[in-house]
Homo-oligomer: A and B are copies of this chain.
């Protein structure tokens, strides 16, 4: 999407330098930095330390990492080592394992001499597929926004709440939850976005707000506590969030706090949709609360907050007293009973085993 007047993806292959480049998201929105990823350590750190984040982008980055590794050493041993090291970087987003498996299954049968080229081509393809899937999520999601707008007065704003960043920075382009928003704007529907700040890492405040600013989409930043109150007072027409892993039964694992917004949406009759590219479905898992491992991150993320200091430099402040420990589960699971529908690249379906199976019959594990 747009950064100033220029179109960017969040990750791309620079054919002049032969290197993969990313937007280092740790500095947004205060600084826009592009960095090269070269070594396996670079790629692993970029995922683990969240220079890139968001389930689809993590998958795309892992694909490029495998391609770079095959260029360096196409052996079976390196294929497995790279798979292992990259797979261990983040435990929750299923797209990581999906992309690594895609690459390994493609490469394993190939002669060593063919692996680098095939890996590079497939990595590019995985990236392009991600863009197309997210575009189609926007096409389908637009219909939901159109239907809400049709029930309002002409010109009346549709208020959409989103949590975390399921924007283009979480994918290769378009975003998942944000793709319907861009499509609505292009369609001439007036929208306004409530952006949850999404503590502890503030992806909403830092990234989603920045994306909305870049495309001049009206929005307000709110604390994660505020959404329920806004729904009680009719100020939210629709919730759209992304997901890091969705089970074959339709339970949605997403950034911590999503479950609370789903409860509030249910309590107030607000439609709650999840934008879901199919690689984010874990067909091996049914009960999300019981089965999905939840990443526990450093408590420094809870006790400290990073941002821009008055002098323009980036710094962090400690909000807690010395001696107070933090607890930091990074994701939660929203049970399917709270979800109005899943917006996939093939269309909108019910969050249920039947709904997902009807949409992706070839993927069902019986």
A interface residues (Cβ-Cβ under 8 A, vs B): 29-30, 194-195, 197-200, 202, 205-206, 209-210, 212-213, 219-230, 232-233, 255-257, 259-261, 263-264, 267, 289, 294, 299, 302-310, 315-321, 323-329, 331-333
Contact A320 B221 (CB under 8 A): yes
Could you list 17 A-B pairs, sorted by A, with CB under 8 Å? A199-B225, A205-B320, A213-B324, A221-B299, A221-B325, A221-B327, A224-B224, A224-B225, A226-B328, A226-B332, A228-B259, A229-B259, A230-B327, A263-B264, A304-B307, A308-B317, A310-B316
Contact A205 B319 (CB under 8 A): yes
Which residue on B lies nearest to A312, using beta carbons?
B318
Which residue on B lies nearest to A220, using beta carbons?
B327
Chain B residues within 8 Å of A210, by CB: 321, 324
A302 to B321, CA, bound (A): 21
Known A257-B223, A318-B307, A321-B209: A194·B327 in contact at CB below 8 Å? yes
A323 to B221, CA, bound (A): 11
Known A221-B326, A224-B223: A315·B310 in contact at CB below 8 Å? yes
**SS class of chain A's interface: helix, strand, loop or mixed?**
mixed
Contact A305 B333 (CB under 8 A): no
Query: What's the minimum C-beta distance from A284 to chain B, rounded to whole angstroms?
Result: 21
A29 to B323, CA, bound (A): 11
Which residue on B lies nearest to A325, using beta carbons?
B220
Q: Return the contact of A317 from the options B222, B303, B305, B326 (Cβ within 8 A).
A: B305
Contact B327 A318 (CB under 8 A): no
A222 to B306, CA, bound (A): 16
Query: What's the minimum C-beta distance from A312 to chain B, rounded to whole angstroms?
Result: 10
Contact A225 B326 (CB under 8 A): no
A195 to B326, CA, bound (A): 9
Contact B289 A232 (CB under 8 A): yes
Known: A222-B326, A308-B318. 4 other contacts (CB 8 A): A223-B328, A228-B260, A229-B294, A232-B289
10 tightest Cβ-Cβ pairs between the two chains A and B: A225-B257, A307-B317, A29-B321, A229-B332, A199-B223, A263-B263, A220-B327, A209-B324, A307-B319, A260-B260
Known A264-B259, A319-B197, A319-B206: A226·B327 in contact at CB below 8 Å? yes
Which residue on B lies nearest to A195, using beta carbons?
B324
Chain B residues within 8 Å of A30, by CB: 318, 321
A260 to B332, CA, bound (A): 14
Chain B residues within 8 Å of A209, by CB: 320-321, 324
Known A319-B206, A319-B305, A332-B228: A263·B256 in contact at CB below 8 Å? no
Query: Which of A29, A200, A221, A230 neighbours the largest number of chain B CB atoms within 10 Å of its CB?
Result: A221
Chain B residues within 8 Å of A222, by CB: 302, 326-328
Contact B221 A324 (CB under 8 A): yes
Query: What's the minimum C-beta distance from A273 to chain B, rounded to whole angstroms?
Result: 19
Chain B residues within 8 Å of A29, by CB: 320-321
Query: What's the minimum C-beta distance from A241 to chain B, rounded to whole angstroms?
Result: 12
Chain B residues within 8 Å of A308, by CB: 317-319
